[in-house]
Structure 1
Amino acid sequence: CADMVYSKLTGEGPYFDSRVVYVSETGPKGRRIKRLAIMDQDGENHRFLTNGQAIALTPRLSPDQRSIVYMSYLNDRPAIYVYDLASGRQRLLVGNTDLTFAPRVSPDSRWVLFSMARSSNTDIYRVPLSGGTPQRLTTSTAIDTGGTYSPDGSRIAFESDRSGTQQLYVMNADGSQQQRISFGSGRYATPVWSPRGDLIAYTKIGGSFRIGVMSPAGGNEKLLTDGSQDEGPSWSPNGRVLMFFRSSGGGSGKADLWSVDLTGVNVRRVPTVLDGSDPAWGPLRP
């Protein structure tokens, strides 16, 4: 199969037998219909999961491949939902009066990291995927968001503007030992930890939006794309390719999915039925 050939040629782990969840988009800017969709990593076997009556954003596939967590709106306020892939049922996980967004599932599929704005203070929380009471992990007066687990679940990378600009930080999974890891010019957003644990990918903002990677300890920063509106990276199962979305210029609101490897040379468009954004690359199928 393709995975065996790839592994033999490169010495790297495979990624072809994997799926991608993303937001499928259509319609004019300002009235975009955004619904959940899933497909194979090459664009085959595509299907829509939601009908588009409610907007869907930032989906993430659980590592056990049973659920998708995503953001939608409840009474015009962002809330976090869980979509069950076997039944097609959706349930509200977190969301009432407070703004909740940016969900990410832990490696053991037990927890969901998310951000919640409460009393004008945005912090990172976690809640059981099965439901329950959220537990607060950050307590700064700044905006803390975009939490992502390390592959072993022991640490969390996130973004915060506590220094005065949007930067990347890491902390233990219980919220302790928070430290800044980004020190370059510009701003940093949407961190995501590699499945190998060796890199953190992010969106670099500074006149343009570009995809980059750095060491979890900070340093060794490398920008991989040179588009003007590249954002939202997601790792392949082997930790050597990133999928992201590239917005079109001219204010059209259109976006497409793209991928790039760690050399930054092999950039390609990922075929989708309609426009696409917010890709989340799932693990290899069992």
Structure 2
Amino acid sequence: MKTYYQFWFHFSLVILALFFIISCSGTRHGEKLSVEATIENQIPILIENVRKSPENPQAHYQLAKTYFDVDSMQQALAAVNKSLELNGKSNRARLLRGDIFLEQQMLKQAYQDYVDVLTSETGDEFVESIRTRFGRPFPIYLLTSGDFNNAFPYFSPDGKRIAFQSDRDGNWEIYLMDVDGTQQVRLTNNQAHDEMPVFGVRSNIIAFSSTRDDTSNRSRINKARNIFLMDLLTGNVARVVEHVADDWFPALTDRGQKIAFVSERDDERDVPFQEKLSDIYLKDLQSSKLLRLTQNQADDGSPSFSSDGKWILFASNLDGNFQIYRMNSQGQDVHKLTHGNFDCGAPHFSHDGKVITFFADKYGNFDIFMMGDQGENVIRLTNNMAQDAYPRFSSDKRKIVFHSNRTGKYQLYWIDLMNPLNHDDLTTALQNEIDALQDSETRIKD
């Protein structure tokens, strides 16, 4: 589980890839041109249509769209360029060309086509579709700043506060702040590293992992952790999961009476614990009964409960890449929710259980995504060259908080899900990205 372990702590290396992004968006579904023929079989017919009507922009557009649907991007680009040559005012063709450029990671060209569509006479009609393509459909705001790292945020159940970890004091400690980023208070004060704070349904109880029981002189990455609970009203801290193995990534349920966590305690191989396979466990804090929820030759991690405690989301590389899975609270009825050749991780349910947020490296770096509870309707929420990770919903589903190193250090940000970008904001955001990409190209040339 070496990469899985290091992912959470090597912030200087970019919050590594154990379990992230997704191809959960699936393949694009092309327009069926005939009820009895597949998309691929339509290409010869469309080529013949173009031969017969070479001056018809619609014929070239249909051919370009079909090439796009079967991932033949060079042919699609040639066909759509011909369509635009014949009818330069076609927003549908220009939008398709932007999509082709986007698939080829030609971002400046893609964004310019989207801007041209938005600024046309009928641009308002395309706002929603371009918002989704841009991968930044909602406003994003910075919550913290400083020459240190702030990471792993988690909303309190009432949505008024956020717990997080910070290394501003030289080691990781747990902090609490108001939801607007003010009134930051240090909760732990220990020479060890205290990490990954989470709330359950009670606003005064936080679970976190800590190296405070490992008194060796080893470096942070080589120290094992245990799980602790803190009562915010009394300040009392109690160890609730103790083992020589590394126990981490807690998740609370059943009014804080049960806790899920990640451990490699059952991997008996004689190798360093960072290289062992991790599983997910559930402990009843009243009876001390321990239940192993996953058991396979893979790394399983990042458990997160639904608000009713019936379901657990988690990430696993059982099939190669880390993908998002769902199981019931007894480790049964397991369903794979994402599918792809990239990694997904840190899934989290909305309070009503209808939506899941997570992060993934589908486009080369980690971004925040959102999807339905069955893995459907995937939406990209961030589009940045930095590493955006560990998203968490507020209880009212109006916000998602996450951490990112887009300013150099890891800081906390929030996404305003209630106010999607309007026409002017979207146009400005796209133009700013075009200018930034142009500036980057100029610096490289110089």
TM normalised by structure 1 equals 0.80
CA contact (8 A) 2:159 2:394 kept: no
1:236 and 2:394 equivalent? Answer: yes
Partner residue in 1 for 2:209: 71
Deviation at 1:54, TM superposition (A): 1.7
Deviation at 1:185, TM superposition (A): 4.3
Partner residue in 2 for 1:226: 383
What is the alpha-carbon distance in structure 2 between the residues aligned to residue 172 and residue 133 of structure 1? 17
CA contact (8 A) 2:158 2:203 kept: no
Structure 1 gaps of 5+ residues are 1-14, 268-286
What is the alpha-carbon distance in structure 2 between the residues aligned to residue 33 and residue 184 of structure 1? 36
Partner residue in 2 for 1:258: 413
More strand by share: 1
Give, as a single letter, the amino acid of the residue that structure 2 aligns with 1:19: R
| Higher radius of gyration, 1 or 2 | 2
Give, as a single letter, the amino acid of the residue that structure 1 aligns with 2:369: G
Deviation at 1:46, TM superposition (A): 2.3
More deviation, 40-49/229-238? 40-49
Query: Aligned to 2:370, what secondary structure does the other structure show?
Result: strand
What is the alpha-carbon distance in structure 2 between the residues aligned to residue 184 and residue 90 of structure 1? 41
Partner residue in 1 for 2:17: none
Partner residue in 2 for 1:104: 251
Residue of 325, 338, 344 corresponding to 1:188: 344
Partner residue in 1 for 2:239: 92
What is the alpha-carbon distance in structure 1 between the residues aligned to residue 158 and residue 421 of structure 2? 19
Partner residue in 1 for 2:198: 60
Deviation at 1:62, TM superposition (A): 2.3
Give, as a single letter, the amino acid of the residue that structure 1 aligns with 2:280: I
Give, as a single letter, the amino acid of the residue that structure 1 aligns with 2:181: G
Query: Aligned to 2:172, what secondary structure does the other structure show?
Result: strand
Residue of 321, 328, 343 corresponding to 1:172: 328
Partner residue in 1 for 2:161: 19
Give, as a single letter, the amino acid of the residue that structure 2 aligns with 1:42: D
How far does the alpha carbon of each residue in 1:93-130 deviate from its partner, in whole angstroms, 9 at most, with x for none? 11321111110111532211111112133111111245
Equivalenced residue count is 246
Partner residue in 2 for 1:216: 373
How far does the alpha carbon of each residue in 1:66-114 deviate from its partner, in whole angstroms, 9 at most, with x for none? 2110111121312111111121121211132111111011153221111
Give, as a single letter, the amino acid of the residue that structure 2 aligns with 1:175: G
What is the alpha-carbon distance in structure 2 between the residues aligned to residue 21 and residue 189 of structure 1? 20
Query: Aligned to 1:26, what secondary structure does the other structure show?
Result: coil
CA contact (8 A) 1:107 1:149 kept: no
Q: How does 1:28-39 map to 2 (within 5 A)?
A: 32-39=170-177
CA contact (8 A) 2:251 2:304 kept: yes
Residue of 173, 180, 199 corresponding to 1:42: 180
Partner residue in 2 for 1:145: 301
What is the alpha-carbon distance in structure 2 between the residues aligned to residue 201 and residue 131 of structure 1? 32
Partner residue in 2 for 1:199: 355
1:246 and 2:404 equivalent? Answer: yes
Query: Aligned to 1:86, what secondary structure does the other structure show?
Result: coil
Identify which of structures 1 and 2 has the higher relative contact order when contacts are C-alpha pairs closer than 8 Å and 6+ apart. 2
Partner residue in 1 for 2:218: none
Deviation at 1:264, TM superposition (A): 6.4
CA contact (8 A) 2:321 2:340 kept: no
Query: Aligned to 1:44, what secondary structure does the other structure show?
Result: coil
Deviation at 1:57, TM superposition (A): 1.2
Give, as a single letter, the amino acid of the residue that structure 1 aligns with 2:255: D
Taking only aligned residues, the RMSD between alpha carbons, in angstroms, comes to 2.2
Query: Aligned to 2:181, what secondary structure does the other structure show?
Result: coil
What is the alpha-carbon distance in structure 2 between the residues aligned to residue 129 and residue 203 of structure 1? 30
Deviation at 1:221, TM superposition (A): 0.8
More helix by share: 2
Deviation at 1:43, TM superposition (A): 1.9
TM normalised by structure 2 equals 0.52
What is the alpha-carbon distance in structure 2 between the residues aligned to residue 174 and residue 91 of structure 1? 25
What is the alpha-carbon distance in structure 1 between the residues aligned to residue 193 and residue 243 of structure 2? 17
Partner residue in 1 for 2:264: 117
How far does the alpha carbon of each residue in 1:5-41 deviate from its partner, in whole angstroms, 9 at most, with x for none? xxxxxxxxxx9861111112226xxxx4211111110
CA contact (8 A) 1:17 1:40 kept: no
